[in-house]
C-alpha cells in the first residue's frame, strides 16, 4: 500500500439475495462455514442470488474524494458498507488505514430518553471516540449543533432537523482518516447545510473520502473523482463532469410524440446547430409539422430539461414578440435559441405547439439532446451574467499607498 | 479478543449507562420495580405454602430469605438471557449503520440484569437482618460463586442474540423457556427426588443457583465437585460462544438489512 493511500478496493464483489427466506438460509450457511473455517468466497451464485457489486476497484489518497453516483439499487450503499466493514466482500479485498468515520446515518444509536449532551457521549463512543477526546470537543460540538439550551433536554423532544444537526455535529468532530458519507447533506436548512459543507471541506483535506449522493451539484462541488455505478458495475470512473454526463444518460427518457389526433403529424426535428455548443452560444432546430387545417397565432415552446427532469430553461415565441401561424399542410418552424447560458451538462429538448385556448397540437418530448460545454460551475442551471468588483475605500487606499511607499524605501 | 474487550470497556460502560438512565428516567417507581417481581413471585409461593396447596418443606432458613435469594440469582440467568438475546435486535439501526464491536451490546445488556441483582441483594440483606440471621464469613464467597452463572448466561446470550437476528421467534421462545425452567429448577423449592431430581442431575442451572445460595445460608456447598465442573463448563461455553459471536457478527449485520 502506498504510504499515502488510505483506501484501496481491489476487485470487490458482493452477492445479494432478494428473498427473505433464502437470505436467512444463506446467512446461516455462511455463518456455519465461517465457524468451520471453510471458505465462503465462492464464485458461484446460489439460486436467487445476484451480484450487487461486481469487480469494483479504486484507490484513494489523503485529500482525494471519490463520488459514487448511479440510479437506486446500483450498489452505492453496499459499497459504502463494505468500505465501512459492515459487510465483507465475497470476492476481492478492501484495505483501509487509520480511523474510519462513516456518515451513513446520523443519529443512529441516539436514545430518545437521553438528553442531547448524554447522547453526544454515547454516539461519540460508538463511533470510536475516547472520553477525553469528547470532553475536549464537547463545547465545540454543542456550538456546532446550534442547539443552545435544548442540549440538556431529551432528544425525543427534538425536531428532526435538531436531531440531524446533533448527529452531524458529533461526526464533524471525529477527524477520521477515511470518511464515508451517504446522502446526509440533504437534510437541515440552508444555513446548516452550508456549515456542513464547510466542515466537510475541512475534513476532506485531511482524509480520503467516499461520497454517495444523487445531488450532482454536491458531487461536482466536493469530489475530485467520480464513479458511476449501475447494477453493481462501474460504468465510468474519472472526471466529475464526464461522470455526471454519463449518469444523466442513464436517465434520458426516450423520445415521445403526442399530437392532437392522427391528422397532426410531426415529420421530423432537425438539429441546425452543433449538439455540443459552448456556454452562451446559440442552438438552432427545424421542426416540420403537418396540420390538417390552419391554426392562427399558435404558441410555440421549447424547453430544456436536465437529467433529473427539472426544466432548466424555456423559450416562448410570445415572449420575444413573434407571431406564428400554421397553414394547412406542412409547415417548417425554424427556431434559434440565443445566448444559452446554462451550466455545462446535457439537456433534453422538448417542443410544444399549443393553439390557444389550451389546445395542445403537438407535444414532442425529448426529441433532441444537446450538451453545453465549458467550465462554468454552480448549483442552478441558469447563471446570470453580470459584473462585480471590489473598490477600496479612500481610507484603505491611503494605507495601501503608505505601506507601498514604505516598501519602496 | 480479550484485549479488544478491555479497550471497549468505555463503550460498554456508555451503552450500559445509556440503557440504565433511559430505563429509570421515566419510570415513576424507578428502582422499586426491581423489588416488585421477586416480591410477587415469593408472595405467591408463600401464600400457596401457607394455604397448604403446595408443601415446600423445611429449607433451613425462613422461606422468604431462601426464595428471594434463589430468585435473585435465578434472574441473572432469566433476565440476563432475555436481555442479551434481544440486545442486537434492540440495537436497531445503529447495528447496521455503524461499525462498532457488537459484543458491547450484549455485555451492556447483562449489566442491566446485574443492576437488578444488586438491588435485590439489598433486599436480601434487609430480610436477613429482620430475621436476625448472621451469615458466616463464607457467605462472602457468594460473590465469586455467582460468576459462573453470569458467564453461563452470557454464553447462551451470545448465541441467542445472533440467532434472534435471523429468527425473530427466539425472543418469544426465550421468555417461555425461562419461565418453564424456573419451575423445573429448584429455585423456589428444594429438590426432592423423582423425575424432578433426575432432570436436575443434568441441569447445570440447579447447582449454579443453589451453590451461591447455600454459601449464604449455610456457608458450605452441597455438591462442590458438581459446582466446579459446571463452573468450568460455563467458562468454556462463554469463551466458545464469544468466539463464535466475533466470527459471525459481520454476517449478522449483513442479514439484518438496511432498516
- Is the preceding peptide bond at A357 cis, omega within 30 degrees of 0? yes
Question: Which B residues in the span 190-209 are in contact with A, Cβ-Cβ below 8 Å?
Answer: none
Of A24, A35, A84, nearest to B255 by CB-CB distance is A24
Q: Write down the pTM of the prediction.
A: 0.73
Q: What does the alpha-carbon distance between residue A119 and residue B91 come to, in Å, rounded to a whole number?
A: 15
B93: Cβ–Cβ under 8 A, 6 or more apart, which residues? A105, A108, A109, B259
Q: What does the alpha-carbon distance between residue A183 and residue A185 come to, in Å, rounded to a whole number?
A: 6
In a domain, B201, yes or no: yes
Domain extent at residue B110: 34-255
Report chain A residues whose CB lies below 8 A from the CB of B250.
Answer: 85-88
Check: complex ipTM more than 0.90: no
Structure confidence at residue A402 (pLDDT): 52
CA quadruple A264, A270, A273, A274: dihedral sign: positive
Delimiting residues of CATH 3.40.50.300 domain(s) in chain A: 5-250
Task: Tell me which residue of B191, B193, B221, B195 sits closest to B208, measured CA to CA.
Answer: B221
In angstroms, the separation between the Cα of residue B178 and the nearest Cα of chain A is: 25
Q: Does A95 touch chain B (CB under 8 A)?
A: no
In a domain, B55, yes or no: yes
CA dist list (Å): A43 to A23, A24, A210, A396:
17, 20, 27, 71
Structure confidence at residue A253 (pLDDT): 66
Structure confidence at residue A304 (pLDDT): 92
Check B258 against A154: CB less than 8 A apart: no
N-term to C-term CA, chain B: 29
In a domain, B136, yes or no: yes
Does residue A387 or residue B7 have the better pLDDT? Answer: A387
Q: What does the alpha-carbon distance between residue B27 and residue B32 come to, in Å, rounded to a whole number?
A: 10
Number of structural domains in chain B: 1
Report chain A residues whose CB lies below 8 A from the CB of B251.
Answer: 27, 30-31, 34, 88
User: Which helix (H) or strand (E) segment is A284 a member of?
Assistant: strand A283-291
E-strand ranges in A117-246 read: 178-182, 208-212, 225-230, 233-238
Quick check: B151 pLDDT over 90?
A: yes
Q: Does A121 touch chain B (CB under 8 A)?
A: yes
CATH number of the A256-373 domain: 2.70.50.60
Q: Which residue of B has its CA nearest to A156?
A: B22
Q: What does the alpha-carbon distance between residue A321 and residue A324 come to, in Å, rounded to a whole number?
A: 10
Structure confidence at residue A76 (pLDDT): 86
CA dist list (Å): A230 to A71, A199, A213, A251, A317:
7, 30, 14, 11, 40
Q: Does B27 touch chain A (CB under 8 A)?
A: no
- Grid look-up 430468585 returns B71
> Going residue by residue through chain A (409 aa), what tens digit of pLDDT does each one get?
445 788 898 888 888 877 777 777 777 777 777 777 776 666 677 777 888 888 889 999 888 889 998 888 888 888 888 888 888 888 888 888 888 888 777 777 788 888 888 888 888 888 888 888 889 989 988 988 888 888 888 888 888 788 888 888 888 888 888 888 887 665 667 777 777 778 777 878 888 889 888 877 778 778 889 999 988 889 889 888 778 778 877 776 677 888 888 888 888 899 999 999 998 899 999 999 999 989 888 999 999 988 767 788 999 999 999 999 998 999 999 999 998 888 888 888 999 999 876 788 888 888 888 998 888 877 778 888 888 888 877 666 655 555 545 544 3
In a domain, B198, yes or no: yes
Q: What is the DSSP string of B129-198?
A: HHHT----GGGGGHHHHHHHHHHHHHHHHHHHHHHHHH-THHHHHHHHHHHHHHHHTTTSS---SHHHHH
> What are phi and psi for residue A185, nearest 5 degrees?
-80, -5
Cβ–Cβ pairs < 8 A, chains A and B:
91
Q: Which residue of B has its CA nearest to A81?
A: B97
In a domain, B154, yes or no: yes
3-state secondary structure A127-160: CCCCHHHHHHHHHHHHHHHCCHHHHHCEHHHCCH
**Test mutation, A19, A23, A25, A31, chain B, max B CBs within 10 A:** A31
Q: Does A84 touch chain B (CB under 8 A)?
A: yes
**Is-contact B174 B81, C-beta < 8 A?**
yes
For the domain made up of A5-250, the CATH class stated in words is: alpha beta
Delimiting residues of CATH 2.70.50.60 domain(s) in chain A: 256-373
Q: Does A129 touch chain B (CB under 8 A)?
A: no
Check B97 against A104: CB less than 8 A apart: yes
In a domain, B171, yes or no: yes
pLDDT band at B234 (very low <50, low <70, confident <90, very high): very high
Structure confidence at residue A314 (pLDDT): 92
Amino acid at each position: 500500500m502506498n504510504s499515502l493511500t488510505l483506501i484501496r478496493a481491489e476487485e470487490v464483489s458482493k452477492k445479494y439475495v432478494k428473498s427473505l427466506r433464502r437470505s436467512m438460509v444463506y446467512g446461516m450457511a455462511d455463518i456455519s462455514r465461517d465457524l468451520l473455517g471453510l471458505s465462503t468466497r465462492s464464485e458461484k451464485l446460489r439460486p436467487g442470488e445476484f451480484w450487487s457489486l461486481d469487480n469494483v476497484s479504486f484507490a484513494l489518497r489523503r485529500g482525494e474524494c471519490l463520488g459514487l453516483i448511479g440510479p437506486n439499487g446500483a450498489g452505492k450503499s453496499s459499497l459504502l458498507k463494505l468500505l465501512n466493514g459492515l459487510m465483507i466482500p465475497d470476492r476481492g479485498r478492501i484495505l483501509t488505514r487509520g480511523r474510519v468515520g462513516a456518515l451513513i446515518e446520523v443519529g443512529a444509536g441516539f436514545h430518545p430518553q437521553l438528553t442531547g449532551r448524554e447522547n453526544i457521549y454515547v454516539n461519540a463512543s460508538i463511533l470510536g471516540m475516547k472520553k477525553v477526546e469528547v470532553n475536549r470537543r464537547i463545547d465545540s460540538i454543542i456550538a456546532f449543533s446550534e442547539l443552545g439550551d435544548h442540549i440538556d433536554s431529551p432528544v425525543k423532544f427534538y425536531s428532526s432537523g435538531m436531531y440531524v444537526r446533533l448527529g452531524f455535529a458529533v461526526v464533524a468532530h471525529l477527524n477520521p482518516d477515511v470518511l464515508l458519507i451517504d446522502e446526509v447533506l440533504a437534510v437541515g436548512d440552508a444555513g446548516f447545510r452550508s456549515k456542513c459543507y464547510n466542515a466537510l471541506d475541512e475534513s476532506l483535506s485531511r482524509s480520503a473520502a467516499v461520497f454517495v449522493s444523487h445531488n450532482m451539484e454536491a458531487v461536482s462541488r466536493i469530489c475530485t473523482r467520480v464513479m458511476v455505478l449501475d447494477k453493481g458495475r462501474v460504468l465510468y470512473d474519472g472526471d466529475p463532469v464526464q461522470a455526471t454526463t454519463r449518469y444523466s444518460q442513464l436517465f434520458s427518457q426516450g423520445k415521445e410524440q403526442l399530437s392532437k389526433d392522427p391528422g397532426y403529424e410531426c415529420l421530423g426535428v432537425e438539429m441546425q446547430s452543433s449538439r455540443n455548443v459552448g456556454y452562451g452560444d446559440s442552438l438552432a432546430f427545424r421542426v416540420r409539422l403537418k396540420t390538417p387545417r390552419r391554426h392562427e397565432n399558435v404558441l410555440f415552446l421549447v424547453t430544456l430539461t436536465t437529467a433529473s427532469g427539472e426544466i432548466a430553461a424555456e423559450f416562448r415565441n410570445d415572449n420575444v414578440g413573434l407571431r406564428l401561424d400554421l397553414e394547412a399542410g406542412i409547415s417548417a418552424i425554424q427556431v434559434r435559441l440565443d445566448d444559452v447560458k446554462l451550466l455545462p451538462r446535457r439537456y433534453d429538448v422538448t417542443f410544444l405547439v399549443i393553439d390557444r385556448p389550451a389546445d395542445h397540437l403537438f407535444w414532442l418530448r425529448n426529441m433532441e439532446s444537446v450538451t453545453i460545454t465549458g467550465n462554468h460551475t454552480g448549483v442552478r442551471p441558469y447563471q446570470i451574467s453580470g459584473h462585480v468588483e471590489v473598490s477600496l475605500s479612500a481610507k484603505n487606499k491611503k494605507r495601501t499607498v503608505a505601506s507601498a511607499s514604505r516598501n519602496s524605501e | 479478543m480479550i484485549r479488544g474487550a478491555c479497550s471497549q470497556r468505555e463503550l460498554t460502560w456508555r451503552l450500559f449507562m445509556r440503557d440504565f438512565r433511559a430505563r429509570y428516567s421515566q419510570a415513576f417507581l424507578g428502582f422499586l420495580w426491581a423489588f416488585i417481581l421477586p416480591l410477587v413471585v415469593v408472595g405467591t409461593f408463600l401464600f400457596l405454602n401457607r394455604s397448604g396447596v403446595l408443601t415446600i418443606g423445611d429449607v433451613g432458613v425462613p422461606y422468604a430469605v431462601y426464595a428471594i435469594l434463589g430468585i435473585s440469582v435465578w434472574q441473572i440467568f432469566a433476565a440476563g438471557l432475555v436481555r442479551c438475546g434481544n440486545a442486537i435486535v434492540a440495537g436497531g439501526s445503529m447495528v447496521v449503520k455503524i461499525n462498532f464491536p457488537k459484543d458491547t451490546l450484549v455485555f451492556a445488556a447483562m449489566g442491566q440484569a446485574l443492576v437488578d441483582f444488586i438491588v435485590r441483594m439489598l433486599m436480601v440483606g434487609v430480610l436477613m437482618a429482620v430475621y436476625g440471621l448472621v451469615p458466616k464469613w463464607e457467605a462472602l464467597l457468594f460473590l465469586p460463586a455467582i460468576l459462573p452463572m453470569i458467564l453461563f448466561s452470557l454464553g447462551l446470550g451470545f448465541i441467542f442474540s445472533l440467532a434472534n437476528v435471523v429468527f425473530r421467534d427466539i425472543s418469544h421462545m426465550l421468555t417461555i423457556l425461562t419461565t418453564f425452567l424456573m419451575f423445573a429448577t429448584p429455585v423456589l423449592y428444594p429438590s426432592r427426588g423423582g423425575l424432578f431430581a433426575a432432570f436436575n442431575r443434568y441441569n447445570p442451572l440447579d447447582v449454579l443457583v443453589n451453590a451461591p445460595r447455600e454459601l449464604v445460608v449455610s456457608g458450605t456447598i452441597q455438591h462442590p465437585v458438581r459446582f466446579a465442573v459446571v463452573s468450568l463448563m460455563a467458562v468454556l461455553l462463554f469463551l466458545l460462544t464469544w468466539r463464535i459471536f466475533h466470527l459471525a457478527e459481520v454476517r449478522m449485520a449483513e442479514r439484518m438489512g438496511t432498516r
